[in-house]
Amino acid sequence: MNRSNSFLTTPVAVLLGSMLISIAILMSGGIIKIGSRTAGTGANVPVAPSIAPQQAPGQPPQQPTSSKVSVDDDPVLGNKNAQVTLIEFSDYECPFCKRHFDQVYPSLKKDYIDTGKVKMVFRDYPLPFHDPMATFEANAVNCAREQGGDSAYFKFHDEIFKRTKSNGNGLTKDEVYEIASDLGLNQANLKVCADSGKFTEEIKKDVTDGGAVGVSGTPSFFIGRSDPSGTITGQIIVGAQPYSAFQAAIDPLL
């Protein structure tokens, strides 16, 4: 091979190597940033040991730490007197939130929430590039809560995550209304409530509160000992982490 051919093949090899690395990142469930936009992979890929959250454009990744976080007046799943509180900031159209729901949440619920050890508080954090549906769905679930309390809220919460395909266009409004009917709620009332954006200010407050304690993407979790004040000092778990990460944070508190 002469020097000219060798010179030409070197950048080609580097380019091919970069492409292979990019494909590997996609297959492992990571996030690829394109300029100031963040593109997430779908929910039906293998779980990686550590998966970053989806982030709002222009926000840097947040390193795990601890923060004082309020449960606010948001819905609670499980024993309200549980020793440990888990607060989740989530987006109904986030594929990594759906992955957490599909692959980790069932075990958390069975082992910790249903046994009365942990109560879960769900706070809304719709990302702007998943709107308008992310905020609309958050409104709809809060409208369900208005009709049937926290029990109705989490039934609706479960159905959205089961049915959505995520990424901002996972459900249509009609499909959201259908969930209300399937759960025995008053569909007409929920439609009026959701269409009006009745709980948009409450949702914005969740986003503001989340940002103040270090949330920059979804899903983000805070786990700490329950406190009568309604504020916990919680360890942050960032992204769609494996079940073992939650075990490691919860078990020492029990």
* Strand-pair category, 118-124 with 84-90: parallel
Mean local confidence (pLDDT), 47-64 = 49
Indicate the angle between helix axes 95-103 and 133-163, nearest 10 degrees: 30
Q: Which two tokens stand for residue 54?
A: 């989806």
Supply the pLDDT for residue 55. Answer: 59
- What structural domains does the chain harbor? 44-253 (3.40.30.10)
Q: Which two tokens stand for residue 45?
A: 């890929």
Report whether pLDDT(148) > 80: yes
Q: How many residues does the chain have?
A: 254
The answer to whether 79 and 116 have CB atoms below 8 angstroms apart is yes
The pLDDT confidence band at residue 66, using thresholds 50, 70 and 90, is confident
Mean local confidence (pLDDT), 4-32 = 39
Supply the pLDDT for residue 5. Answer: 45
pLDDT digits (tens, 9 = 90+) for 161-216: 999 999 989 999 999 999 999 999 999 999 999 999 999 999 999 999 999 999 98
pLDDT digits (tens, 9 = 90+) for 213-244: 999 899 999 999 999 999 999 899 999 999 99
Supply the pLDDT for residue 189. Answer: 98
Supply the pLDDT for residue 9. Answer: 47
Supply the pLDDT for residue 2. Answer: 45
Residue with the bigger pLDDT between 21 and 71: it is 71
Supply the pLDDT for residue 237. Answer: 95
Cβ within 8 Å of residue 42, ≥6 positions away: 95, 165, 166, 167
Q: Which two tokens stand for residue 193?
A: 């409530």
